[in-house]
Amino acid sequence: MKDNFDFIKKFRELFIKSPQCGSWTRQSENCDYGDILTTSKDCYMSFNSGDCRNAYYCEDSRKLTDSTDCAFCENCQLCYECADCDTCYNSNFCQDCTNCQDINFSYDLRRCKDCFGCCTLRDKQYCIFNEQFSKNEYEKKMKMFDYSNVAGIKFIWQKLEDFKKKNPRMNIHEHDTTNCTGDYIYHSKNCHMCFDTRHSEDSGYIYQANLDQGTKDSWDCGPIPTVMDLCYDVAYVDYLFKCKHVYWASRLKDSEWCVNCIEGENLFGCVYLRNRHDGFYILNEKVGEAEYMQRTAEIKKMLYENEIYTLYDLISKDFKQEQEDKKKRLGLGEKKVRNCFICNDEFEIISAEIEFYKKYDIEWPVYCPECRSKQRYALRNERKMYKRACDKCKNTLISTFPNDSKFVVYCLRCWHENLV
């Protein structure tokens, strides 16, 4: 049992020693400033996005061209300061607009053209604050609005905010969903409290699964989980099957408590490994199947007894809290309404969740969904870029890891080449 307790210490050693990838931008050109971009070109300070061209300060978006300051947008061109817009052209200061052109300061428009300060319109042209004008009138009136300076923008923005309050809106941003709660959820069914999620099913507390495909039968995942089945407490991952407590990973199966692993199965407490399909691994060491089964069961029990509930806890929990937490847990039993160990807010464990935990042998959570999600977000770097050297090849790289980061940081090429 003492060996098992060492698991926490050894995992932390492995984690702190292993190189971190300085930048996750892939198959992209001239996108050095920014991170997690794929198949993009000439972007600057853009994050978590794909297929973008000339996108500056954009995040969580796809297929943007010549656009700046956009978030959660898709397929937009020549747009500025937009959020949650889809297929818009030459539009600025817009939110939740789809298939629009030459619109400004507008909210929830669809198939509209030449509109200004409008809310919740469909198939309209030449409207100002929802009032219909002729082409000539519209052009004349538009000369009155000057938003070439900060004061002008502020004035119009405030006017729009007041106007928005008068217009009813949908309770949820969704499209093609069945039996879902949350917001910004598309093409999904049976999802509980999921946000920025697409193509997901029978899942709960999924955040930012909005890249390609989302999750199935998974709880507490994201940001950036794509294509996953039967997973719990995973973040920054794709192609995972039956994994728990796994971050920064790709193509893993039946693995738990892992970081920075690519391609493998039956990994437990492993860091910076790849291509392990040949057996069972604990803390990067190969073990026999029987030993794996016995030790992982013991370690899991030990982790729970030591208040390690999430990967975040395993990496960074401060043990001074140990005694106090233990007291709090006394008498918890099968209580479905609990007080979060972190923020003390009440939260409920719903029946779909209980079913998932049972099916997949997971202890019921003691942190509320919000604190759980905050922990997953806390493990990412701030969106600040630093020029630094790759700790292996010494080439200059631009990374969200600062020079004085406690981690060893490699460029993408070295990171992959040195995976063991």
Closest approach, Cβ 205 to Zn ion, in A, equals 12
How many residues lie near Zn ion (CB under 5 A)?
Answer: 10
Q: Which is nearer to Zn ion, 178 or 321 (CB)?
A: 321
What the block records as the tokens of 110 is 């669809």
Closest approach, Cβ 43 to Zn ion, in A, equals 21
Q: Which stretch binds Zn ion (CB under 5 A): 159-167, 237-245, 274-282, 411-419?
A: 411-419
User: Which residues within the stretch 335-394 sit at the binding site for Zn ion (CB under 5 A)?
Assistant: 340, 342-343, 368, 371, 390, 392-393
Q: Which is nearer to Zn ion, 342 or 398 (CB)?
A: 342
414 sits near Zn ion (criterion: CB under 5 A): yes
Tell me the C-alpha distance between 407 and 391, whole Å.
Answer: 10
Q: Which stretch binds Zn ion (CB under 5 A): 82-90, 233-241, 323-331, 332-340?
A: 332-340
Q: Which is nearer to Zn ion, 21 or 37 (CB)?
A: 21
Q: Which is nearer to Zn ion, 378 or 393 (CB)?
A: 393
Closest approach, Cβ 413 to Zn ion, in A, equals 6
Closest approach, Cβ 417 to Zn ion, in A, equals 8
Closest approach, Cβ 216 to Zn ion, in A, equals 26
Q: Which is nearer to Zn ion, 240 or 362 (CB)?
A: 362
Q: Which is nearer to Zn ion, 224 or 366 (CB)?
A: 366
Residue type, 347: F
21 sits near Zn ion (criterion: CB under 5 A): no
Closest approach, Cβ 25 to Zn ion, in A, equals 14
The residues that touch Zn ion, with contacts defined as CB under 5 A, are 340, 342-343, 368, 371, 390, 392-393, 411, 414
